[in-house]
Amino acid sequence: MQLTLDPDSEVSIYQQIRDRIVEAIAKRQAREGDPLPSTRQLAADFGINFHTVNKAYDLLRQQGVIRINRKSGAVVRRDATTGPPEAAFVNDWEERMRVLLAEATVHGMDRQDVLRRCEALLISFEEGV
C-alpha cells in the first residue's frame, strides 16, 4: 500500500491518511482481515507526529472500517465483500453526494457526463488501479 500526502492541502493530514486508506481498501489493495502499518511506522514514513496517524485510525475505527487490537494493531474490518451498507451511512453519504452533484450541475456538467465519470471511477476501483 503506497500512500502520498500533501502537507499544503486544505484537507487536514489525518483526513488525507483516512482517505488514502479508504481508497486502498476500495481498490482491494487491502482486504478484510489484512493488517495496516503501525501508527509509529506510518508516522515515521511520512515524518509526521504519530498522534496524527492515531487520529486517522481512530476515525476509521469509529466509521467501522478498521478494528484496533492492542496486540495485533489495526486490521481491516470492512470491505466491499463484508455486506450491505448500514442505513445511517447511506443517509450521510447521500447528503454529501447531493452537494457534490449539485456543484457539477451548476458548473455545466450534464447528467450523462457525471454518471460516466462516476462509473469510470468505480470501475477503476474494481480493477485495483
Partner DNA sequence: GTGGTCTAGACCACT
Partner DNA sequence: GTGGTCTAGACCACC
Least spacing, CB of residue 60 vs DNA, in Å: 11
Angle ∠(29,59,86) on CA atoms, nearest 5? 75
Does 99 participate in binding its own copies (rule CB under 8 A)? yes
Does 122 participate in binding its own copies (rule CB under 8 A)? yes
Q: Which residue has the cell 482491494?
A: 28
Amino acid type, 63: Q
Are 33 and 76 spatial neighbours (Cβ–Cβ below 8 Å)? yes
Q: Which is nearer to its own copies, 2 or 108 (CB)?
A: 108
Helices (H), 63-110: 87-106
Residue selected from 8, 47, 91, 129 as contacting its own copies according to rule CB under 8 A: 8
Which residues of this chain interact with DNA, rule CB under 7 A?
Answer: 12-15, 38-41, 48-49, 51-52, 54-55, 57-58, 68, 70-71, 73-74
